[in-house]
Chain A
């Protein structure tokens, strides 16, 4: 209990997402929490991580925290800028992307994501933004990570609409579609980590400090399994929090 540092749910998610990234990963990234996770990883264990922004910017060195996916600060001083068609073909479709980040209104038992509609597609109860880049990122990045707050309405057993796929109905359903990527490898929430088992079903593999399995189950819309090898995550370190708060998001826009 000595040196215990207070942190908020956003910081907890950023830190745990950053820890999943590896040295030399090529990451396809938008703005917000995934962007912070990549920058944190680069300043800790993965200095040679490479970021590709969906807007077509490679090797960005933004002088400020970008607030939109096409922020002008991403371009100034970057290594390369390419068209939208090029970023989706030469980089993503070609297989040059290791990691994609995804989010959405609903994530189901098999890691499928809905970012399109709640209710019927033709007569939507709630019309959400739709795919953007996520349909292809989910299919073609080698590994995908999902970062989202853990709330029951966000974790139904089945999504209303498959905007982008995880493991579909489980088993070899994803493999049968012939998509090249490995699918979601982890869902990072403010309560812990869910990861696919051999059948593609999301199971609890880690709990954050102080969180119980029952808390996670209460916030999940299916009978959640707990991995026999489940772990307790390390709390964010002072250094991780310092980098986030002082260097990456000093105005606390995302954290």
Chain B
């Protein structure tokens, strides 16, 4: 059964005020178009969870969508500070819950696997554990050593961008796969966005590449260039120049306000956004070709 809908409809149906939202993607495949659609629809009081809030949550926090962030590295990757989230935290206007990358991902692993908690070896670092009551210690029943545990993270809604999916939501991802699969399995509802919607036969031609099966997907949206200014391996490059530009834009609320007006509120969708970026940017971010060697699955 096809789950193809517009991104606008997927967001209005599946993202609700107050939800815990996980927009997945570690540097790669960050679903900016979905963040922008949530901003456009004015959905508020979200709890925004991501290992790296990145620019997508900086923009959503600046737009007033969030009451809390859950994160493990709050920076502008490769550039410096994540200014709007940081300013909101320093001003006491935004609640936060903090982990290391590994404990954040372990929470998703527990959520995705249906486990009550996930154990990790000790790191000996006392302060985060003391400040976040979600870190607990239990005794390994076999060796008697103390291990650290974190509870499952089960977002109300996860957003996952992929290279290609069929209309039902069987999705294939390559390049850095981060926490894409865990986020999809951990969440109650999943919005899948894809660069390309392909025939089911294409998915069946290479089943090992399918990280997310249709059975956990609620909506499939065809959103090319969804990840800009992050990237989609094999489709377009990361816009490092924009990450640097954001460092300037985000220095003031006014700067961010003007950006959101021009690039989010005044545009109907991602297609208009990509067209507005213009051909110079398209050329600069063009991904060349380097194909993998096909494998033989065999005929039986």
Contact mask for chain B residues 221-241; partner A; CB cutoff 8 A; 1 contact, 0 none: 000000000010100011010
Near B by CB (< 8 A), chain A positions 133-159 give: 133-136, 138-140
B121 touches A140 (CB 8 A): yes
Taking CB atoms, residues of chain A closer than 8 Å to B75 are 129, 132
Of B101, B126, B290, chain A has the most CB atoms within 10 Å of the CB of B101
A162 touches B126 (CB 8 A): yes
B102 touches A177 (CB 8 A): no
- Of A14-22, A80-88, A229-237, A239-247, the segment with at least 4 beta carbons within 8 Å of chain B is A80-88
Interface size in chain A (residues, C-beta < 8 A): 54
Of the candidates B77, B124, B131, B231, the one whose C-beta lies within 8 Å of that of A179 is: B124
Query: A131 with B100: in contact, given A55-B27, A71-B238 (CB under 8 Å)?
Result: yes
Taking CB atoms, residues of chain B closer than 8 Å to A133 are 73, 100-102
B178 touches A56 (CB 8 A): yes
The answer for the CA separation of A126 and B233 in the assembled complex, in Å, is: 35
Is B99 engaged at the interface, CB distance under 8 Å to the other chain? yes
Residue of A nearest to B236 (CB): A72
- Of A39-47, A163-171, A210-218, the segment with at least 4 beta carbons within 8 Å of chain B is A163-171
Query: A132 with B27: in contact, given A69-B78, A116-B128, A165-B123 (CB under 8 Å)?
Result: no
Contact mask for chain B residues 175-196; partner A; CB cutoff 8 A; 1 contact, 0 none: 1111101100000000000000
B105 touches A88 (CB 8 A): yes
Provide the main secondary structure of the chain A interface.
Answer: loop
Taking CB atoms, residues of chain A closer than 8 Å to B81 are 129
The answer for the CA separation of A76 and B176 in the assembled complex, in Å, is: 10
Q: Which residues of B contact A (CB under 8 A)?
A: 26-28, 51-52, 71-75, 77-78, 81-82, 86, 89-90, 92, 98-103, 105-106, 108-109, 120-128, 131, 145-146, 174-179, 181-182, 231, 233, 237-238, 240, 243, 287, 290
Q: Which residues of A contact B (CB under 8 A)?
A: 31-32, 54-57, 67-72, 74-77, 81-85, 88, 92-93, 116, 121-127, 129-136, 138-140, 161-165, 168, 174, 177-180
Given contact pairs A70-B238, A178-B124, a sample of 5 additional A-B residue pairs in the complex whose CB atoms are under 8 Å apart: A81-B174, A82-B177, A132-B101, A135-B125, A139-B121
